[in-house]
Amino acid sequence: MKHNGRFGDFGGFYVPEVLIPALEEIEDAFYRFKSDPQFVAELDGLSARYAGRPTPLYFAQRFSEHVGFKVYVKREDLLHGGAHKVNNTLGQGLLAKHMGKTKLIAETGAGQHGLATAMIGALFGMETKIFMGTVDTERQSVNVHKMKLCGAEVIPVVGGTGTLKDAINDALRYWTAHVTDTFYLFGSVCGPHPYPTVVKHFQSPIGTEARAQCLEEVGRLPDMVVACVGGGSNAIGIFSGFVEDKDVKLIGVEAGGEGVRTGKHCATLEIGKVGVFHGSKSYLLQSEEGQIYETHSVSAGLDYPAVGPEHCLLKDTGRVEYVTADDEDVLDAFEIFTKSEGILPALESAHALAYLISQKGKLPAETIAVINLSGRGDKDVGIVEEYRPVQ
Amino acid sequence: MTTYKETFEKLNRTALIPFFVIGDPDFDTSLAVVKAAVDAGADVLELGIPFSDPIADGPTIQKADIRALAAGMTVQKALDFIKQVTDHKPIPIGLLVYYNLVYQYGTEKFLKDFKAAGGSSVLVADLSIDDADEIAIPAKDTGLETVFMVTPVTSDGRAKRIAEKTTGFIYTVSLLGVTGARESLSDMVRPLVTRLKKLTDVPVCVGFGVSTPRHAKEIASAGADGVIIGSKIVKMIEDNLDDKQKMQSEIAAFITQVKAVL
């Protein structure tokens, strides 16, 4: 590898030897193509005409009235596929194409990354396999169907807890055996180098656009930027635009699940310990001796016991404040936001909304908050119905 | 303590190295099985500490890890286990472990305690040569040998760097993929062993997918110093969970059978 992929002491590439050449190949291609004018033009064109960039920054007036300060919403939910994930799958998919790869594999939790990969597999005519835990295939069955319609093969992963971490385990195992012709399109800013850097790069337009839009439409920078954090790709994407603006407070919201004290949560940065998992050194939810814990969240997309290495560094330096939102507060936020704006937020993104609601009455009315609405909530209607049947 | 190199030289034939997950299916049964394998003629042991997410392992060893963890295996107990094996008979023991377990225990303390239990080398499945110093330097200080992997897709230049960091043996992965028994031996084995032998004097052992005496013989004839058999043996544990005597006798018989052709 040309770079060590470290964020402070976090990150790195802790993988079996067999995967090193494949990671080196991706690293090499990424640094070769990311500034290549033809590659950039092709990606920009697809981002605009296929995915729908730029996404608007929308002033949520009635929700703002509810919380008592001004909330601007970065509408990543309007992208093709219904989430920010397509930014990354277009970027990595194009990289795979330029590298001459013909097969894609990906892991998925909520199914959004799987769907975004399946879309790109169809777009570029690549054979696509999506690994998904059986708990997730059940709770996100609509996305499974959509992936299949795009021509992808969905491989249900039975092992472990049947969630995202098990999907990654099996995707890595499959990649080990098919490393010469297959591109692993990783979905978040986690995993071994170069993924945290690659995914951040392709998600950074969220932050670049949001900053420019805020200056143009509001006339000044926001006081705070809020995003949910599972692996952390949508958060890194929007934070990257503001991290140098020292007066802009950055808030990352993790899944508190049934409550951090219950043990059923994904509050990795809140109470995790540093360790090495899935190729990267980061905070982890783990036992005293280092076995990885099962996690819980109402949102499949945040259900992961590790977190991106750059978030770990941003936590340690204090640049980003990480908080949690519990399932019940997230469901409240889903209902309140949908009723006040007519926009169904993904349950993942509803964690960020729940944080804003928790600040009701605590912030001056002129406060400007930008929240990354990373995905739309159509996929979650069944889950919400289960928890909170509509009267 | 004899080094691997001395062990292999003294044998003057390819060493038989069975692999077990420590504590599979439980501490006592596992200990009895490993002792039986030693008594049946294993030359070196490769032992794994069970991990919740073994990404380099196929279904057979994943299931063994789950069995061992469910029966209460811990890192501390695994070290006690190794002590009991070496008390039974002094035999070189290579450990296969995922990095997080070593990291949480404290790398230096882990290596010291493993050495004290009679262990010879540590191979960290998810630690490549690039970060190898995190383990290679304290291992050397503790008096342990180092083992690293080379695969069919490892370049000559990189294989050379790996050999330079290796004091024990190179664990040669015979195929692209995770652990698991296979019908036929990968045709990548012979060229890979030949390539490595030209690059280095460090002993070369071959594992992954080795399932029959015939496979072992082929590997021996390719010039390997050792042959590592894992999933095939672990499967014999899985298949005989309700008859522990048969579990031991089948594994002992298999080891005798493989050894006869080496």
A165 and A38 part of one domain: yes
Residue where a domain stops, chosen among A184, A199, A214 = A199
Q: pTM here?
A: 0.97
Same domain? A160 vs A121: yes
| Residue A192 C-alpha, separation from nearest chain B C-alpha, in angstroms | 11
Q: Which of A27, A107, A209, A348 is catalytic?
A: A107
For residues A224 and A313, membership in a common domain is answered with yes
Peptide bond into A16 cis (omega under 30): no
Tell me, yes or no, whether A183 lies in a domain. Answer: yes
Helices and strands counted in chain A (H then E): 16, 14
Q: A96: how many CB neighbours lie within 10 A of its CB?
A: 24
Residue with tokens 């509810």: A66
* Catalytic-labelled residue, pool B24, B43, B57, B250: B57
Residue A17, domain extent: 13-48+84-199
Q: What is the mean pLDDT of chain B?
A: 95
- In DSSP terms, B94 is beta-bridged to B46, B121
Please check whether residues A136 and A191 belong to one and the same domain.
yes
Of A14, A160, A180, nearest to B126 by CB-CB distance is A14
In angstroms, the separation between the Cα of residue A284 and the nearest Cα of chain B is: 10
By residue count, chain B amounts to 262
The whole-angstrom separation of Cα B151 and Cα A19 is 9
Give the per-residue pLDDT at B253: 98
Report the C-alpha gap between B170 and B126 in whole angstroms. Answer: 15
DSSP characters for A305-364? SB--HHHHHHHHHTSEEEEEEEHHHHHHHHHHHHHHHS--B-HHHHHHHHHHHHTTTTS-
Total number of domains constituting chain A: 2
User: Mean pLDDT lowest for which of A131-135, A235-239, B40-44?
Assistant: A131-135
The SS3 of residue A93 is helix
Q: What is the mean pLDDT of residues A125-144?
A: 93
Kindly state the helix (H) or strand (E) to which residue B60 belongs, with its residue range.
helix B59-70
A161, A184, A199 - which closes a domain: A199
Is residue B49 within 8 Å of residue B78, measured between CB atoms?
Answer: yes
Q: Are residues A281 and A229 in the same domain?
A: yes
Do A78 and A90 belong to one domain? Answer: no
> Is A3 among the domain residues?
no
Q: Residue A2 falls within a domain, yes or no?
A: no
Q: At what angle do helices A141-149 and A112-124 cross, to 10 degrees?
A: 10
> How many angstroms separate the CA atoms of B253 and B257, rounded?
6
Q: What number is the ipTM of this complex?
A: 0.95
Residues of chain B neighbouring A288 (CB-CB closer than 8 A): 104
Same domain, A26 and A147: yes
In angstroms, the CA A174 to CA B126 distance is 16
Do A96 and A70 lie in one domain? The reply is: no
- Residue A188 a catalytic site member: no
| CA trace torsion B176, B177, B180, B183 (10° rounding) | -40
- Alpha-carbon span A361 to A321, nearest angstrom: 20
What is the per-residue pLDDT for B1? 64
Q: Please write the tens of the pLDDT for every residue from A81-127.
A: 999 999 999 999 999 999 999 999 999 988 999 999 999 999 999 99
pLDDT tens sequence across B221-248: 999 999 999 999 999 999 999 999 999 9
Q: Which chain A residues are closer than 8 Å to B76 by Cβ?
A: 289
Q: How far apart are CA A149 and CA B66, in angstroms?
A: 35
Residue A160 has pLDDT above 80, yes or no: no
Could you tell me the pLDDT band of residue B30, with boundaries at 50, 70 and 90?
very high
What integer is the mean pLDDT of B99-125?
97
What are the tokens at A359?
A: 């600040």
Residue A8 belongs to some domain of the structure: no
Say yes or no: A239 and A374 in one domain.
Answer: yes
Average model confidence (pLDDT) across chain A? 96
Kindly state whether residues A245 and A308 are assigned to the same domain. Answer: yes
User: Does residue B220 contact residue B14 with C-beta atoms inside 8 Å?
Assistant: yes
- Which of A77, A81, A73 minimizes the C-alpha distance to A51? A81
Lowest mean pLDDT among A110-119, A373-382, B130-139, B202-211: B130-139
Which residues of chain A are within 8 Å of residue B130 when distances are taken between CB atoms?
Answer: 1, 4, 13, 20
Residues 6+ apart with CB under 8 A from A89: A106, A113, A116, A117, A119, A120, A185, A187
- C-alpha–C-alpha distance, residues A279 and A190, integer Å: 8
Give residue B58's pLDDT: 92
Say whether both A78 and A107 belong to one domain.
Answer: no
In order of A64, A256, A339, A365, A379, the CA distances from A336 in angstroms are 11, 19, 5, 19, 18
Q: Is residue A180 part of a domain?
A: yes
Separation between Cα atoms, residue B261 and residue B220, nearest integer Å: 9
Name the nearest CA neighbour of A76 among A87, A66, A92: A87
Tell me how far apart the alpha carbons of residues A81 and A93 are, in angstroms, rounded to a whole number. Answer: 15
Q: Is the peptide bond before B54 cis (omega within 30 degrees of 0)?
A: no
Q: Residue holding tokens 């001395």?
A: B6
Flag whether pLDDT at B119 surpasses 70. Answer: yes
User: Residues near A186 by Cβ (< 8 Å), separated by ≥ 6?
Assistant: A92, A106, A107, A195, A198, A199
A70 and A116 in one domain? no
Residue holding tokens 């963890």? B69
Which residue of chain B is at minimal alpha-carbon distance from A279? B126
CATH of the domain at A343: 3.40.50.1100
Residue B108 annotated in active site = no
Q: What is the pLDDT of residues B63-79, one digit of tens each?
A: 999 999 999 999 999 99
Q: Which fold has domain B14-255?
A: TIM Barrel (3.20.20)
In chain A, which residues touch B (CB < 8 A)? 1, 4, 12-18, 20-22, 159-160, 165-166, 169, 172-173, 176-180, 273, 275-279, 284, 286, 288-292
Name the domain boundary from A183, A199, A215. Answer: A199
Q: Is A101 a catalytic residue?
A: no
Q: Domain for residue A1, yes or no?
A: no
Tell me the average pLDDT across A328-357: 98
CA-nearest of A7, A9, A5, A54 to A275 is A9
Kindly state the average pLDDT of the residues B180-184: 87
Cα separation of B18 and A108, whole Å? 36
